Structure 1
Amino acid sequence: MSEVDWSTPEGLAAITTYLGGRIPDWRAPVAHALALSPATSSPEWEFAHVNAPGGRHALPAVILATVLGHDGSTATLEVSRSDLQEAVASLAPAAACTSLDHPNLAAWRLALAEVESNPLRTMCAVFIADLADPVSSEADGSLRSRLV
């Protein structure tokens, strides 16, 4: 990619396409989110932002998949603090596009702050390629319950 334009929606779309093309067998998930383990005895995973079907936040999905070495298929993957720090650093230039909001970046930063203040909490990325796919984890089930 010769010239990277982080300041426009068209530039972000081109970056998304480029990064997706670098992942073997990449397919953009229909839904995805970063999940944070519960801080209480509640079994529910926490999601600061959910990328629901029909959403337009494909760049965060491809960035997180790149960091985690994932192809976008339905899966739940453990996310370390360093993984999320790398993803935040990779997505941060997108804030130059002021005509769009960046809820994933905000959610990821909140999750980092939470795990830094409470190291017992864990994180995972949930990717859903097709809503008809089997549920891959409790976090996946929690995410799907928010989609209906």
Structure 2
Amino acid sequence: MTATNEPDWSTPEGLRAIKEALAATIDGWEPPVAYAVGITPASSSPELEFPYVNGPDAPAGLAAVVLAKVVGHASGSATYELSQTELSTVVETLKPALACEDVEHPNTAAWAQVLRDLEANPARTAYAVFVGDLDAPVESEAEATLRTLLPGD
């Protein structure tokens, strides 16, 4: 029997409640309008590769909050270098959400692949990129790349 105060990872409502509870632990939390995890390419190209991009048309869900919590992000636009340990923490934290089959989990799949790529090639670097306002100036090259991948750009 499950205690009533344990989080329910198997329903959209449960995931929403988990997201809200975790977001409440981030002082000054403001959901980003776009976010993603990118990785430096295995080639000499300078642009990051983003296997999945969360744009303005998709609300910032549990994945955004977990990523923000791990890197210490609260609001605005910012780019953070992600260690393998940090990215592993994000992926492992999100894995129980896979029990909810009513929603897709593209971030978990994409970020797990980035983690495997990091493990296979330690010369590559991963980044968490948050865009707080599309009208604000670009803060980093990684953010500039991410913005080019958003719908309508």
> Secondary structure of the equivalent of 1:61?
helix
Residue matched to 1:126: 129
Q: How far does residue 57 in structure 1 lie from its aligned partner after superposition?
A: 4.8
1:88 corresponds, among 76, 91, 107, to 91
Q: 1:104 aligns with which of 103, 107, 117?
A: 107
1:132 Cα deviation after fit: 1.1
What is the letter of the counterpart of residue 68 of structure 1?
V
Q: Which protein is bigger by CA-based radius of gyration? A: 2
1:51-77 residue CA offsets vs partner (Å, 9 max, x unmatched): 010204511110011111110321001
Counting matched residue pairs gives 148
**Larger CA deviation: 101-110 vs 68-77:** 68-77
Which sits farther off after the overlay, 77-86 or 50-59? 50-59
The alignment's TM-score, normalised by the length of structure 2, stands at: 0.93
Deviations 1:33-65 (A, max 9, x none): 001012112122100100010204511110011
The 10-residue stretch of structure 1 (24-33 or 69-78) with the greater mean CA deviation from structure 2: 69-78
More helix by proportion, 1 or 2? 1
Q: Which amino acid aligns with 2:33?
A: V
Q: TM-score, normalization: structure 1?
A: 0.96
What SS class does the counterpart of residue 14 from structure 2 fall into? helix
- Corresponding position: 1:52 with 2:43: no
> Comparing 104-113 with 48-57, which one deviates more in the overlay?
48-57
The answer for unaligned runs of 5 or more in structure 2 is none
1:35 aligns with 2:38: yes
User: In percent, how many aligned pairs have the same letter?
Assistant: 49
Structure 2 counterpart of 1:23: 26
For 1:109 and 1:138, locate their aligned partners in 2 and report how far apart those are by CA, in whole Å. Answer: 23
Segments of 4+ moved more than 3 angstroms = none
